[in-house]
Chain A
Amino acid sequence: DAGVTQSPTHLIKTRGQQVTLRCSPKSGHDTVSWYQQALGQGPQFIFQYYEEEERQRGNFPDRFSGHQFPNYSSELNVNALLLGDSALYLCASSLETGANYGYTFGSGTRLTVV
């Protein structure tokens, strides 16, 4: 039973560019959340998608956007990259009906902006 799969694992982009990160949730999960983890910090919530809609959003600018597809997979898009966007981006999946039973996290995408 595959867990959460994220791609790519590593990415280097230039300031001002745009990037798309991808996530496939754990089998049977229908909700996807994205977190940003800067070096030496705890993960920060970006947003959560359920039924292809953004349901919750953290304190991130509109440069951060996302999408969820009918198969529950998700993309995170970041426009106009800044050096400060360099971080580990974690995807977490969960089951809507499994309230607070915890998330399953992927290994993340390490984004470096130069």
Chain B
Amino acid sequence: AQKVTQAQTEISVVEKEDVTLDCVYETGDTTYYLFWYKQPPSGELVFLIRRNSFDEQNEISGRYSWNFQKSTSSFNFTITASQVVDSAVYFCALSEAWAYGNNRLAFGKGNQVVVIP
């Protein structure tokens, strides 16, 4: 069974501060994929980053960075120098490997990020 836990519900930060979102996952598979999605008020889920279970290298992409640690089953996400446009709900998601293409996504409950100008 797959499960994703995002402990914080709402996080408020002042503009230009960094914000880190925590994600803990559970899976019985050795091959899986982890994602972060952003959901603005318009409703659509916007893909941000993807990481597979065999690549623990942490990277930075613009103002986004992530910390993937298999030992603790965590996939944390950081927004550096937050901006008002970053205000949204952020979801961590897990997809187990599947022979037929894109497998279902299991989502956490999300983090509401509010950036105060």
Residues of A within 8 A of B (CB): 3-4, 31, 33, 35, 40-45, 48, 50, 55-56, 58, 88, 90, 92, 94-108, 110
Contacts and interface: CB of A to CB of B under 8 A. Distances in A.
B102 A103 contact: yes
A110 to B, nearest CB: 8
Nearest to B98: A99
Interface in B1-48: 4, 6, 33, 35, 37, 42-47
Interface of B: 4, 6, 33, 35, 37, 42-47, 50, 52, 91, 93, 95, 97-98, 100-110
A101 B104 contact: no
Given A41-B109, A43-B105, A100-B97, 5 more contacts: A45-B105, A48-B104, A90-B44, A96-B101, A103-B102
B44 A108 contact: yes
Contacts of A103: 45, 47, 102, 105
B42 A56 contact: no
A56 B101 contact: no
A31 B91 CA distance: 22
Contact of A88 (B6, B43, B104, B110): B43
A42 B107 contact: yes
A55 B100 contact: yes
Contacts of B109: 40-42
A99 B43 contact: no
Contacts of B100: 50, 55, 96
17 contacts: A4-B44, A33-B104, A35-B105, A40-B109, A42-B110, A44-B107, A94-B101, A95-B101, A99-B97, A100-B52, A100-B95, A100-B102, A100-B103, A101-B102, A102-B50, A103-B102, A105-B37
Nearest to B49: A102
Given A101-B50, A101-B102, A107 B42 contact: yes
B107 A106 contact: no
Nearest to B46: A105
Nearest to A88: B43
B3 to A, nearest CB: 11
Contacts of A90: 43-45
